[in-house]
Amino acid sequence: VLVQVTKEVLLHALYPVLKAVAAHSPLPILSGIHIQADADGLVLTASNSSMAITCRIPQETGILTLQQPGRIVVTARYFYEIVRKLNPGVITLMGEDSFLLTLQSGGTQIRLCGMDPVEFPLPPSVEGQPVFTFRVPNGVLKSAIKQVATVAATSENRPVLTGVCLEYKEASLCLTATDGVRFATCTLRVARVMSSEAVTVVVPGKNLQEAVKLLAGEDGVTEITLTANRIRLQTPTVQIQSAVIDGRYPVLHSIIPRDYRCEIMVDTLILVNAFEIATILASADIVRIVVNAGKMELLSHIAEIGDSVDEIPLQEMNGEDFQLSVNGKYILDILRCLDTESVRMQFTGPLSPLVIQPVNDLTTSLFLITPVRTSH
């Protein structure tokens, strides 16, 4: 291998890949970065047991010289630290064999021991399997994943609930997640589907959240490929592959209440700010919502510390007065994901879930949050 590439281009390609480096793996090879030079350019890959990220530097944009193809695996942490600290400008990467990479920049020469590239778990090709491929604009995809993945369970008690369920059916993709207290669902229309059959996969929520951060500008388009056991997100330069979670995802859409006893509409930013203040002085994060005589109040308190009352103007109200308590932090996670100016809330009963919906969203999303029983 002999490649010359500028520090800036190399770093830019390294950042996304680092997200998939296994932090504390017993397998040393998983702490590595697979660097491959071929006729098309330089390809960096990292892979942990659940996710693989590949970033390509095309020959025409970033590579100054590419004399020989080849590949090597070096420890990601050291490689990144070194590239980051080298002076701006051209870095020469040289590998006489697969087990020694030399980096040269100005008066600095660094040699890094390599690992056997044959041992590196490159992401499998999806070709040859029944696949479903469709394309989604980044803006819509980011918003949908952000909203739904935030309520996926973090505890491993029921592993399937740490995932987001992706269900493709009739030209639309439905994302669903729940942690037992909260439920989120979002449906988006998708275009150019290469297969028309229905398919359902459950993808680890935290892999989707990492993937969202790597999707470039809102204007781009991401190609999503689903197979029976993998999901692949492909952008022009970055490819993210995630394993799926085995196990049956519970059927949850029947829990969405059909009727409400009161519906209100509130400014999203005002509501987020009010819950942030209320949660500061909220014992066990419990915040009481009181809707009464056309206005909404949030109440909270911590014994011997203090209490807080916040009045929020209602944009609309239809139905009866109500009050119930919710976990302030749980509802904030949801409200902070909303991209719309206003939010709609439906009270469906003192012990039934509160329904939260963004108003005028590009997607069709809906959240439920189960009230906290209190002695009020």
Q: How far is the CB of 13 from a second copy (least distance, A)?
A: 20
Select from 224, 9, 34, 18 the least CA-distant residue to 117: 34
CB-wise, 15 or 228, nearer to a second copy? Answer: 15
Residue tagged 């009270």 (tokens): 347
To the nearest whole angstrom, how small is the minimum distance from the Cβ of residue 329 to a second copy? 14
- SS3 label, residue 137: strand
CB of 266 to a second copy, least distance (A): 13
Work out how close the CB of 169 gets to a second copy at its nearest, in angstroms, rounded to a whole number. 43
Please report how close the Cβ of residue 332 comes to a second copy at its closest, in angstroms.
Answer: 12
- Among residues 78, 59, 75, the alpha carbon closest in space to that of 67 is found at 59
CB of 312 or CB of 324, closer to a second copy: 312
> Taking Cα atoms as reference points, which of 273, 266, 234, 242 lies closest to residue 341?
266
Cβ nearer to a second copy, comparing 119 with 307? 307
Smallest distance, Å, CB 159 to a second copy? 35
Q: Give whichever of 171 and 309 is closer to a second copy, judged by the CB atom.
A: 309
Instruction: Give the nearest distance from C-beta 280 to a second copy in angstroms.
Output: 5
> Encoding tokens for residue 264?
């209100």
Residue that the structure tokens 């980096």 belong to? 103
Q: What's the CA gap between 114 and 97, in Å, rounded?
A: 9
Q: Are 42 and 13 in contact (CB under 8 A)?
A: yes
Give the integer Cα–Cα distance in Å for 123 and 55.
12
Nearer to a second copy, 38 or 311 (CB): 311
Q: Nearer Cβ to a second copy, position 187 or 273?
A: 273
Site residues for a second copy per CB under 8 A: 75, 78, 81-82, 85-87, 107-113, 273-274, 276-277, 280-281, 304-313
Q: How near is the Cβ of 44 to a second copy at its closest, in Å?
A: 18
Whichever of 94 and 112 has its CB closer to a second copy, that residue is 112
Phi, psi for residue 279 in degrees, rounded to 5: -70, -25
Nearer to a second copy, 313 or 350 (CB): 313
Q: Buried b vs exposed e over 78-117: b needs ≥16 C-beta within 10 Å?
A: ebbebbeebeeebbebbbeebeebebbbeeeebebebbeb
Q: Which amino acid is at 104?
A: Q
Number of other residues whose CB lies within 10 A of the CB of residue 186: 24
Helix/strand/coil for 62: helix
| DSSP letter string, 326-355 | EEHHHHHHHHHT--SSEEEEEE--TTSPEE
- Other CB atoms closer than 10 Å to residue 296's CB: what's the count? 21
